[in-house]
Structure 1
């Protein structure tokens, strides 16, 4: 694995100094307090919450209030908001600041989910320059001294790119950093991320850090992205699914070290068990936690010789005792399987034409019809 020639200087996101220029990407149903705490135990960086709908937060729904609650060990409390109405987004940011619930706030403009884009939200929103500007400027003003950042995609499709214009607007509005997932909404998570777009954005934005996102499956990928694009840091999403130790690899790589985790099956099982334990604490409900950990089974044990019966049983387990009994059947001494445990993981999907409001692409400005449609777009979906 290639290494940097010298440890990099801290990445400054507003007043926040990150010794390791790595950010955990928000992923709905994944980056809750439990997973963030687990990743912190292995590495360093900035660990962002699941995406929170600004409207739900302003309405103080029990679920949104639970999702913005951080464990006391999370010394940098990072929350990502999704919203389509400038007033509501500003109110949500104001609430977080006034009630001292966050140290960093990120805005999501990357969601490719059809239920969001068909109403003009997510990755479709930056096409409307006035709406995008109003949301970002209002949020920055409401955040005050707290660093406010944005995460976005290249655009709607290859014929309707938005990232350079949106980047300039965000920089002018006073954001503290800009992250780019180098795919369009049409690409969803398919194919190969276009890292050249990250380089173009970095060459366009000169006053705040630019972070790259897309196809970082290893620490070597992260170093290569920085080398090829000149970006100031990386945002890691699907690459850490079932591999929280990736953050240890990333921390070592950015410090110029060659350390790479190659966990035995026993070490993987211990991490899986720890994750379940943290989920029980997070949900305060053992049954719910065990149901939640089920989706992580395939990711954790990817490449390891774990029988189908045990995998199936773990994916239907309902108690920590049951998980312990199943993990006890594994050969903990089984060594790291190498490439079979690495590479792509998580959803990919196939390219698809984004669903947009009728006439959305006719103008870069928001008309009254589209304003009404956008008001319906504030749903809780993952994306970026």
Structure 2
């Protein structure tokens, strides 16, 4: 069977592919998702939101859930450890028009795990089942879950959670091949993803971790036999990675994008940010996006430094437009390395 599926079933939902783009806290805002949508991933997620904030209709939380028709299929992701809020939150997400709902049991940051949410849920697997069951019973859209392999190397319980999620009615489970203790350090262990796929009976298994190129995606599919792939940090600064994966899995070739093409993509992202954010926030976001987009581009370090010093969006636009792009070269290693600031 072909690794790339151009029609992928998630419960009653039919997706255009089995290559998904992850929710990235603080990153996958509406401008970011506009860029991803150009390259037609099978599913795009908004940023994770907390259940407590959602039921309070916190304005910031509601803004995280902004989306446009061009982004469909679109998923929302919730985190929280209170089963009594799960059904209400699931209904809110469905009423907002989302195509799917994911429960986050993977976020490793302290401010999320301190109340047992995110990867803190890995310590209470039966609670995961309760929350999922409440969500599934409340909505018609497919409910999924994203986890890490375990809290730490001594508490690997991903296979147990696969079985719990399956019993609760979840349609898919995404496995990040790291523990909570690892955060994003060290390589992802794809063995854990493979073990989960072998244990799954009816639930779809989505592989996640260290997919920074099209060839990485192929290797993850072949090694784990997972049903789908969730690309996370690999989308940062490279919104076209999904298109690269499509092309590589079909023809074994990857499109070559020149420095000028990458400039134009950056400028497009810039315009989306300017149209969505107020000036101060837009400048902050552009510094971050510049860091992602220009990392490992030889000859672009001066531009990256200038963007980080810039004080207005107008200045940043001019810096990018006027830069000597003929002096910028793309290293073949660029797509293989982790974009980070």
TM class, shorter-chain normalised? over 0.9
Task: Indicate if the aligned counterparts of 1:149 and 1:178 stay in contact, CA closer than 8 A.
Answer: yes
Using the TM superposition, name which of 321-330 and 45-54 deviates more.
Answer: 321-330
Within 5 Å, give how 1:125-204 maps onto structure 2.
Answer: 125-143=121-139, 145-204=140-199
The Cα offsets for residues 22-68 of structure 1, whole Å up to 9 and x where unpaired, read as: 11111111111111110121342211010011111110011111111
Q: Name segments (4+ residues, structure 1) moved above 4 Å.
A: 4-7
Identify the structure with bigger relative contact order (alpha carbons < 8 Å, sequence gap 6+).
Answer: 1
> Any gaps of 5 or more consecutive residues in structure 1?
349-384
Q: Displacement of 1:308 after TM fit? A: 4.1
TM-score (norm 1): 0.83
Shift of 1:192: 1.1
Shift of 1:140: 1.1
Judged with a 3 Å threshold, the aligned counterparts in structure 2 of structure 1 residues 307 and 279 are, in CA distance, closer, same or farther, namely closer
Structure 2 CA distance for aligned equivalents of residues 108 and 27 of structure 1: 11
**Is 2:28 the counterpart of 1:34?**
no
CA RMSD, aligned part only? Answer: 2.0
- Quote how far apart the aligned CAs of 1:293 are: 1.7
- 1:260 match: 254
TM-score, scaled to structure 2: 0.93
Structure-2 residue corresponding to 1:276: 270
**2:14 alignment partner, one of 17, 35, 39:** 17
CA contact (8 A) 1:262 1:336 kept: no
**What residue ranges of structure 2 are gaps of 5+ in the alignment?**
none
Q: 1:200, CA displacement in angstroms?
A: 0.6
**1: CA distance, partners of 2:229 / 2:300:** 35
Aligned partner of 1:74 among 51, 71, 82: 71
Deviation at 1:315, TM superposition (A): 1.9
**Which of the residues 32, 47, 58 maps onto 1:50?**
47
Preserved CA contact (<8 Å) 1:263 1:335: no
Structure-2 change in CA distance of 1:6 and 1:66 (3 Å): closer
- Matches of 1:31 and 1:53, distance apart in 2: 16
Q: Work out the CA distance in 2 between the residues paired with 1:121 and 1:320.
A: 37
Q: In the TM superposition, what is the alpha-carbon distance from 1:82 to its structure 2 partner?
A: 0.8
1:102 to 1:19, Cα distance in 2 relative to 1, 3 A: closer
| DSSP-derived class of the 1:60 partner | coil
CA distance in 1, matches of 2:144, 2:300: 44
SS at match of 2:201: coil
1:259-282, Cα deviation, whole Å (9 max, x unpaired): 413322211111111111112233
- Between the aligned partners of 2:244 and 2:21, the Cα distance in structure 1 is 14
Q: What is the CA distance between 1:176 and its match in structure 2?
A: 1.2
Higher helix share: 2
Q: Does 1:296 align with 2:289?
A: yes
Contact 2:150 2:158 in 1 (8 A): yes
